[in-house]
Amino acid sequence: MSIEPLKSASPLIVYVDVKSPYAFVAIEPTLALERELGLQFDWRPLTLDIPSYLGSARKKAGKVVESNRSPSQWLGIRYAYKDARRYAQRQGHILKGTEKIWDSSAINIALLWVTLRQRDRLPAFFAHVFPTFWRRELDIEDTGVVEDCLDKADVSKVGFREFLFGEGRALHDELTANLHGAGIYGVPTYVFDQQILFGREHIPYIRWHLGGRQGHAPDIAYEIS
């Protein structure tokens, strides 16, 4: 089995990464769109390699203790967190800045597990994982914690450990290796008809497209309720 980055039986592929604040604030609007259109999107993991393009840093007690980021990278990152935080608050969530760059591959492989085994539990999995992680209450690098997330979402974890270190890891790594070649670089990314759009600001356009392209196409917007 392998996953083609731009191909799916679903009309929309959605790439997310648990450690991305922008993916966090995109989850609820994208799930809402899925319900609104009565469709089932193809949710997939994209484990970002943040240090390769945005430098790396580690914090301790709120202070930066290690960093190879430039001042302009810091300014951009601070704004990005501030921006994601206000939208998270609007959704009723807390978004705390992370203290290190996490390896989110295990929890992202769990996402893959849920989509392949119990797709109907995916909203429950997201509802537990994202808010808890962004309150800094989830060690997503701990396999036991990841299994607990499956429990919390009422997803069977029988066979998960084998999947995590075997088939699931292979699928995840192969997909990750093929994403840049397909033109995908960040999260959330939406793919329809081989077209790629990065960011939840495209939800109005995606709704218009999947809804039959009636009327004039909308411009980008972060929709608020």
Partner 1 sequence: MRVYVDFKSPAAYLALKPTMQFAQRLGLALQWQAFNSTQPTDNEAVAEDKSAAEDKGAVHRRVRAKARRQTHLRYADVQGVNMSFRAKTGSTDLALMVLDRLAVADRQQFVVAAFEAYWCTSLDLNAPQQVASLLQKCGFAPELVAQVRLSGNASMEALNSAVQQADGVVDVPAYIVRGEIFIGREHLPWIESIYPGSKA
Q: Which residues bind partner 1 (CB under 8 A)?
A: 49, 52-53, 72, 75-76, 79, 83, 86, 180, 183-186, 196-199, 201-202, 205, 216-224
Separation of alpha carbons 182 and 5, rounded Å:
7
Separation of alpha carbons 103 and 101, rounded Å:
7
Distance in Å, CB of 154 to partner 1, minimum: 35
Omega before residue 218 within 30° of 0, cis: no
Distance in Å, CB of 71 to partner 1, minimum: 10
- CB 136, CB 102: distance < 8 Å: no
Compare residues 115 and 189 and give the one whose CB is closer to partner 1. Answer: 189
Alpha helices of the chain — where are they, by DSSP H?
Answer: 21-37, 51-54, 71-90, 105-117, 122-134, 143-152, 160-165, 167-182, 203-210
Compare residues 112 and 184 and give the one whose CB is closer to partner 1. Answer: 184
Compare residues 117 and 207 and give the one whose CB is closer to partner 1. Answer: 207
Compare residues 123 and 183 and give the one whose CB is closer to partner 1. Answer: 183
Compare residues 156 and 194 and give the one whose CB is closer to partner 1. Answer: 194
Distance in Å, CB of 36 to partner 1, minimum: 17
- CB 6, CB 190: distance < 8 Å: no
- CB 204, CB 220: distance < 8 Å: yes
Distance in Å, CB of 185 to partner 1, minimum: 5
Q: State whether residue 57 is helix, strand or coil.
A: strand
Q: What are the phi and psi torsion angles at 46 (to 5°)? A: -135, 100
Distance in Å, CB of 215 to partner 1, minimum: 12
Distance in Å, CB of 103 to partner 1, minimum: 16
Compare residues 67 and 156 and give the one whose CB is closer to partner 1. Answer: 67
